[in-house]
């Protein structure tokens, strides 16, 4: 689930630098990392408009590393996407994530962590 994004800087201002994603748990939305690889420019433009429409002040995640949270734009975690990645790190973050795309066929309550 997308819970926020980090905006682009410099010549990439006004664009998405990376998406901040998470997995729902019984305690809340667990941060699973940031993903920028695989996000196509055209798709990112459309997604940015959707994300800005659901922006919020507070982080929807249980915890986020300060380096990722510093410039984050938080959003209501209602958009489901899919990533592929190498493995889970010992801290529970996806290693080498790559964006696969939106999953309009899945509702937020259907999202589960795959190990």
pTM value is: 0.93
44-100 residue pLDDT tens: 889 999 999 999 999 999 999 999 999 999 999 999 999 999 999 998 899 999 999
The torsion defined by the Cα of 22, 66, 68 and 49, in degrees rounded to 10, comes to 80
pLDDT of residue 115: 67
Q: What values do phi and psi take at 75, rounded to 5?
A: -135, 155
Question: Does residue 11 surpass a pLDDT of 90?
Answer: no
| Mean pLDDT value of segment 18-46 | 93
pLDDT confidence of 112, banded at 50, 70, 90?
confident
Instruction: Tell me the C-alpha distance between 26 and 73, whole Å.
Output: 24
């Amino acid at each position: 689930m997308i819970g926020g994004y980090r905006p682009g800087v410099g010549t990439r201002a006004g664009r998405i630098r990376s998406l901040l994603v998470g997995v729902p748990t019984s305690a809340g939305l667990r941060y699973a990392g940031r993903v920028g690889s695989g996000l196509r420019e055209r798709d990112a433009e459309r997604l940015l408009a959707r994300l800005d429409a659901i922006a919020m002040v507070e982080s929807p995640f249980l915890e986020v590393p300060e380096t990722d949270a510093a410039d984050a734009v938080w959003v209501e975690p209602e958009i489901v996407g899919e990533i592929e990645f190498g493995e889970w790190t010992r801290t529970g973050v996806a290693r080498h994530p790559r964006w696969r795309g939106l999953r309009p066929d899945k509702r937020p309550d259907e999202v589960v962590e795959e190990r």
